[in-house]
Amino acid sequence: MVNIVLFGKPGAGKGTQAEFLKEQYNLTHLSTGDIFRFNIKNGTELGLWAKTFIDKGDLVPDEVTIKMLEDAVENAGNTAGFLFDGFPRTIAQAEALDAFLQSKGWSVTATIALEADDEILVQRLLERGKTSGRPDDQDEEKIRNRYQEYNEKTAPLMSFYEQQNKFYPVDGIGSIAEITKRLSAVIDNFVN
């Protein structure tokens, strides 16, 4: 099992890159943001509840997010590994993920952070908001709140994984293909 965690601030290109990497390495792509949006679209109880946080740019509380991610792993069937996109986003989530994978005899193989300057990303998200239909992409105040959530709750994950020698920062500015190459250079160290 190769379990890769892709993290980076909103707009850094996690989803775009995950689409390429999942094909290249035959990994199951799990995006908690996508799962929440799927639930919102389908009007499930989980979706309606999560939307109250997501629309403000706040993180959804850990307990529910962790349970949702674990269910998605359980339901994935046989796979060569996972590409976690947007999870974990808090230390509690990272600890839960370690414990959950360990219970299956697996572990996080590597975490890769797509790095980019906040101001570039805010502009990217506002641009994306024109077509994505996502309320959390359309309002600069909500976008800035998402960065604050990242800085407060997600940034500490870098040292969490650094301490485990599993942290790889990658320059997230460049063409999509260039960035895929940078990410592949890291993942290639762990696949045969």
Residues lying near ligand AMP in the complex (CB under 6 A) are found at 10, 32-33, 36, 53-54, 57-60, 65, 86-87, 89, 93, 136, 146
Q: Minimal distance in Å, beta carbon 83 to ligand AMP?
A: 13
Candidate list 14, 22, 142, 153, residue with the active-site label: 14
Residue nearest to ligand AMP (CB): 33
146 part of the active site: yes
Rank residues 58 and 98 by Cβ distance to ligand AMP and give the closer one. Answer: 58
Q: Which is nearer to ligand AMP, 36 or 161 (CB)?
A: 36
128 included as an active-site residue = yes
> What CA–CA distance (Å, rounded) separates 8 from 139?
20
Is residue 7 within 8 A of residue 149, CB to CB? The reply is no
Smallest gap from Cβ 165 to ligand AMP, in A, equals 23
To the nearest whole angstrom, how small is the minimum distance from the Cβ of residue 143 to ligand AMP?
10
Least spacing, CB of residue 163 vs ligand AMP, in Å: 20
Structure tokens at 189: 């160290």
Tell me which of 22, 37, 51, 89 is the catalytic residue.
Answer: 89
For residue 153, indicate whether it is catalytic. Answer: no
Active site (annotated) includes residue 104:
no
Cβ at position 133, least distance to ligand AMP in Å: 13
The residue annotated as part of the active site, out of 9, 51, 142, 146, is 146
Among residues 27 and 85, whose Cβ is nearest to ligand AMP?
85
How far is residue 18 from each of residues 29, 69, 126, 135, 154, measured CA to CA in Å? 7, 17, 21, 22, 19
Whichever of 115 and 188 has its CB closer to ligand AMP, that residue is 115
Enzyme catalytic residues = 14, 89, 128, 134, 146
